[in-house]
A and B are shown apart, each in its own frame.
Chain A
């Protein structure tokens, strides 16, 4: 086996891993504050890619603006959904939140499948990031390096924002005891809405980043969602850093298995999930509740 192929797959694994990290990070933040597992997360990832594609297709707005506008649009759509639908199930059994967001997921995905079919729409590498670098042992396409860089910046930026800033401290406090934080005069419902928007915007950003690598496909959200659920089960919801590390590590592991045993690459994350559940049911970074 050639070294080039190995590093190529590892890079692709790292890219997938950064998407897993961004999606599961968004899930973890939302779960922390809302106690809801947002099954629509995959749909927001797909929506991010599609908004970028539509901006280019219908308005001629390119990648760089899309990188800003698409996550913003996805975040706003998310906040509207949170206010109109999801806010109604907070005081119910948490499973209803999962089912409700699953319904939202099916509506969004179903509409795009209806309009655009299940074949992908191509989206080219953005201007300025078309070439690549020859590193000697492998060829590194510029865009792929960019994707890994951007997602790492956003993942660790989110971690910093939550763990080290004043706003993050409010957020963590509201996660522990929302009533008490409200009593201190902090507008928790607004914080919940913004958190939901931020969490899904992360998924939207991942979608824009993914658009030039994979084709823009209405089904892309469904495929990644189930894997991200498995990632979340493995990592547990306990820590922000844990979500990021677990996502990246599992992506790389998946890339590795593609080199050595391609048939099993789809299964490897599920296999890891089963082993982790056997050894540490709460997940690697999870707290037993």
Chain B
């Protein structure tokens, strides 16, 4: 089916139009939300959503399943919390230190793990993340079980007092939105296209002369850095960095969010994060064991709706569209 150039341009313009509309809608929702829902809870959701987007970049874009993404989230959280609290770094600098350490850790993990694919890649990242967990348990500055508590939020650019929940929320919302747009940009870039091509047929991309491992490594580091943004932001916004941030349950939680929302869709991970964080909050209140419910959702997704919520919706919508087009 050959589209002529005029129609292609019109279609691109239409997509851009939808994109602009969606962006305006997202900004409106983010702006109004703290007046409806408790801002601290919202910040938690935003951080996890950004974390899920970072993970989605890796699995949806590159097809690599990491079981150790909590290491980057946790590294960001611990370093940002430590630099803000002990070294008295201002907000921006504490965030940057957290992000830098997550990026560095991502590079380290990536260089080691990128040599294997599929199942082994998952097991290696899991083992490496466990090593980071043990470090967090043993190093003196992380205070093992207690974690780093009462992290000061400081001031944005030395002016805006982030001690105010609403101010902190809007900063977090802005960072989330920038992160999301970055993922969307990478997704549509030639780099993102190459990544998806590698996912679909790696031997072919190698034979075409693409440095496949370099692409995958860069994507992995990018994903780790974004996870670091989410972790640093969480440590400062919630004021806490603990062992939970680096442990296996956090690594699996982010996998679940992305699977539930629909991996490989841009908005899916956000939907997944909203659902899972809300579910955690609700279930903890009524005393139902969260891990069991998480396990059941895992099994259900794999057996019943592997594309995730948004993925299934898009799939059925497109099928319906195709049927209409056939009839018309």
Question: Do most interface residues of chain B lie in helix, strand or loop, or is the interface mixed?
Answer: helix
Q: Which of A175-230 contact B (CB under 8 A)?
A: 222, 226-227, 229-230
Q: Which residues of B contact A105 (CB under 8 A)?
A: 295
Q: Is the CB of B118 within 8 A of A94?
A: yes
Number of A-B residue pairs, CB cutoff 8 Å, is 109
Q: Is the CB of A277 within 8 A of B289?
A: no
Chain A count of residues within 8 A CB distance of the other chain:
40
Q: Which residues of A contact B120 (CB under 8 A)?
A: 233
**How many angstroms from the CA of A222 to the CA of B122 in the assembled complex?**
16
Q: Which residues of B contact A232 (CB under 8 A)?
A: 123
Q: Which of A113, A266, A274, A277 is within 8 Å of B291, CB to CB? A: A113
**How many angstroms from the CA of A125 to the CA of B128 in the assembled complex?**
35
Q: Which residues of A contact B126 (CB under 8 A)?
A: 226, 229
**How many angstroms from the CA of A263 to the CA of B140 in the assembled complex?**
12
- Closest A-chain residue to B116, C-beta based? A281
Q: Which residues of A contact B116 (CB under 8 A)?
A: 233, 277, 281
Contact with A along B104-131 (1 / 0, CB 8 A): 0000000011011011101110111011
- Closest A-chain residue to B289, C-beta based? A114
Chain B nearest CB from A253 CB (Å) reads 15
- Closest B-chain residue to A270, C-beta based? B131
**How many angstroms from the CA of A113 to the CA of B289 in the assembled complex?**
8
Q: Does B57 contact A (CB under 8 A)?
A: no
Q: Is the CB of B119 within 8 A of A37?
A: yes
Q: Which residues of B contact A267 (CB under 8 A)?
A: 131, 134-135
Q: Does A88 contact B (CB under 8 A)?
A: yes
Q: Is the CB of B115 within 8 A of A106?
A: no
Q: Which residues of A contact B124 (CB under 8 A)?
A: 233, 273, 277
**How many angstroms from the CA of A266 to the CA of B130 in the assembled complex?**
9
Q: Which of A93-109 contact B (CB under 8 A)?
A: 94-96, 98-100, 102-109
Q: Is the CB of B127 within 8 A of A102?
A: no
Q: Does A169 contact B (CB under 8 A)?
A: no
Q: Does A77 contact B (CB under 8 A)?
A: no
Q: Is the CB of B119 within 8 A of A98?
A: yes
Q: Which residues of A contact B134 (CB under 8 A)?
A: 266-267, 270
- Closest A-chain residue to B111, C-beta based? A278
Q: Does B194 contact A (CB under 8 A)?
A: no
Q: Is the CB of A110 within 8 A of B289?
A: yes
Q: Which of B138, B255, B289, B290 is within 8 Å of A263, CB to CB? A: B138
Q: Which of B249-298 contact A (CB under 8 A)?
A: 252, 255, 259, 289-298
Which A residues lie at the B interface, using CB under 8 A? 37, 85, 88-89, 92, 94-96, 98-100, 102-111, 113-114, 222, 226-227, 229-230, 232-233, 263, 266-267, 270-271, 273-274, 277-278, 281
A226-B126, A229-B126, A267-B134 known, 12 other contacts, Cβ within 8 Å: A89-B303, A102-B295, A106-B291, A106-B295, A107-B296, A114-B292, A226-B130, A226-B248, A263-B138, A271-B131, A277-B113, A277-B116
Offer 17 A-B interface pairs, CB within 8 angstroms, sorted by A: A92-B306, A98-B65, A98-B122, A99-B255, A100-B298, A100-B299, A102-B298, A103-B302, A104-B299, A106-B252, A106-B298, A108-B295, A110-B294, A111-B289, A233-B124, A233-B127, A277-B116
